[in-house]
A and B are shown apart, each in its own frame.
Chain A
Amino acid sequence: MSILIDDSTRVIVQGITGRIGSTQTHWMLEYGTKVVGGVTPGKGGTTIEGVPVFDSVKEAVQETGANASVFFVPAAFVLDAFLETIDAGVKLIVVVPEHIPVKDVIKMRSYANEKGVFALGPTTPGILVPGKGKMGIMPASLFAPGRVGIISRSGTLSYEFAGILSESNVGQSTVVGMGADPVVLRNLADILELFQEDEGTDAVIVVGEVGGEQEEKAAGFIGRKMTKPVAAYIAGRYSPQGKRMGHAGAIVRGTTGTVAGKQEALSAAGVEVLQSPEHVAEWAKKHNLR
């Protein structure tokens, strides 16, 4: 079992004819993902990696029965494509691109909530269910099937944690990148809730970073609702205060958003706070995770 992606997931790739879109379609297909179509307005009727390309999302959904979409659309066109995808009835959307204006993300999130669409990103590596399929850019070689869930604000750190676990023969149920922007389409607590309900997940790792208040708010949810063991790592202990670290989200603002503040909040909720990524292997061993 897994969250978000299962055997019934049929994926379309938006921006499939671009360099990144076509390369990543290749990797997703190779990993066994059911990529059933692609969309690039004006390129309908062609094929990429053997996958039919359509001019509109509506057409792609009608012709292929797609129920999920992954975005490799240039940042400036994401808002438009996102609204089109929701109107076409797609219920799961993964927005990989970075540098999307916050004003657009606010609109996207508001519309997705209104229409009951589950969306991740922007600036997310996507979702990967080991051995089953993936939506996004996660490099498959680092993951192994198992029963530990991972949620990460940073894409590259989700790979790091999966890699360390796989090396210690601990597999993952689902790995989710929630996105690294100051406003994301789904909050950390929403994804934790899915892992709590998933029968295939025994424990969850939260990989956070300095800035914002996702981890603090998630700690509240964990304290109230989570019965599965949770471990957390927060990156950015040595990041100079107030200096930007690439993600607009990673700005230290007062006491909210500091590494220490997040660690305290999570610890108080019963989460095991890891001081360094490799400690995740010992934690998994202690809880007999596989």
Chain B
Amino acid sequence: MRLHEYEALDIFEQVGIPVPRRGVAGTMHEALQVAGEIGYPVMLKAQVLVGGRGLAGGIKTASTPDELKERAEELLSCEIKGLPVRKILVCEKVEIARELYVGITVDGYSGKPVIVVSTEGGVRIEETAKASPEKIASIHVEPSFGYYPYQARSLLRMLGLKQQLITSWTDVIGKLYNIALRYEALISEINPLVVLPNGGLLAVDAVLEVDDSALSRVRFALPDRVDRIENPLERRGREIGVTYVDLDGDIGLISSGAGLGMASMDIIGERMKPANFLETGGGITADLLYRCMELVMMKPDLRAIFINVYGGINPIHEGAKGVVRYIREHNVKIPIVAKALGNRQEETWEIFQSGGVHVVTEAATERAIDRLYELVGGN
């Protein structure tokens, strides 16, 4: 779960990372009040959970109350990459001598935390990583050994920095590492970490993404995670315990695994367009598939539904009962094609067929999509 910048800045402040004076505003009047308290000029930053916000016009400055009124209104009524801006962060605008970058993430391949630093922070950090890799340095932390400050010092020395900056930056890295551990963060990042004209450091932005699998044991006061999902269908998916991604096509999809779901989308995408991605994971019951049908059918103008499930850990015969119950209760008219293989497959096929579902018994998903293509009239 990705935290908002203002939430992450609060956490950074608690451990002693220097952060700007700031306040959150949901209206123009609130923004005006916050700016009055901290003094002009101020930065106005849209609080949306998406990367590349600055380049998309989500960050503005205001030097006077009039400018602030205009720009706060503008931000609060706009969308950034399709997401509505409900809150803006108003913070002091500081003079920047230099912009640095520090991020901690998990390197999936080595299975170790990795600390990444750069002397060229800012919105174009990814381009810097590609164009000038010598300006980026990173170090892995051995899980059985842990992090020690000398690792950060040696990392920063590699970038040819002066001792004063090495000392203050090392302090920030240590604190950020503690946050990454305590909040079980998959990403904790400061970009930019600003060097002020007096040589001090300031975390002007904060990114924190908590491992979803660890949420139940990470204790901090945050609103319910479900509320953070803006798309109502995707939010409903989270509520019933499946992964649902809203797409712009008209062929519904229910699959029992992420890989199978992605492959199904790839095959559908050759000739038609998927309306959604839906993956149940290993928890299929009759009720769950009933609710999955309900969710997939919420999408208007659906032309057909494809169900692709395997009976490994999942009792697919139970799932089929839920699908058929939904079809009967709601008198579903659009064609539904099911490929269901594995444990108790014959029983599953019979249940599906009793509800008018077109069952395909071949192993390749392509054959099922051929059938579906025929049923929707070949276009």
Let me know if A103 and B365 touch, CB within 8 A.
no
Residues from chain A with Cβ under 8 Å of B243 in the complex: 244-246
CA distance A107 to B313 in the complex (A): 26
Most chain A beta-carbon contacts within 10 A, residue among B270, B345, B362, B364: B364
Expressed in whole angstroms, the Cα–Cα distance for A5 and B342 within the complex equals 22
Find the residue from A103, A156, A248 having the highest chain B CB count within 10 A: A156
**Are the CB atoms of B313 and A137 closer together than 8 Å?**
yes
Say yes or no: A248 contacts B212, CB within 8 Å: yes
Contact yes or no, A160 B111, CB < 8 A: no
Is B213 located at the chain interface by the 8 A CB criterion?
Answer: yes
Which of B51, B279, B365, B367 touches A245 (beta carbons < 8 Å)?
B279
Number of A-B contacts (CB under 8 A): 191
B267 at the interface (CB under 8 A from A): yes
Q: Contact partner of B262 among A125, A210, A213, A276, CB < 8 A?
A: A210
Residues of A within 8 A of B343 (CB): 27, 139-141
Interface size class of B (residues with CB under 8 A): 35 or more
Contact of A141 with B342 at beta-carbon distance under 8 Å, contacts A98-B281, A106-B106, A235-B263 already known? yes
A137 to B311, CA, bound (A): 9
- Flag B326-353 by CB within 8 Å of A: 1 or 0 each: 0000000000000001110100000000
Contact status of A246 and B258, CB under 8 A, knowing A102-B213, A141-B343, A238-B274: yes
Task: Identify the interface centre among B108, B112, B142, B245: most chain A CB within 10 Å of its CB.
Answer: B108
B260 an interface residue at 8 Å Cβ cutoff?
yes
Chain B interface: which of A37-45, A50-58, A180-188? A180-188
What is the distance, in angstroms, from A206's C-beta to the closest C-beta of chain B? 12
Interface residues, chain B, with chain A CB atoms under 8 Å away: 51, 106, 108-109, 111-113, 126, 129, 142-144, 181, 184, 186, 211-214, 216-217, 243, 245, 247, 255-263, 265-270, 274, 277, 279, 281-282, 310-313, 341-343, 345, 362-367
* Chain A interface residues (CB < 8 Å from chain B): 20, 24, 27, 75-76, 96, 98-103, 105-107, 109-111, 114, 125, 137-142, 152-157, 159-160, 163-164, 166-167, 180, 182-184, 187, 207, 209-210, 212-214, 217, 233, 235-240, 242-250, 254, 276-278, 281
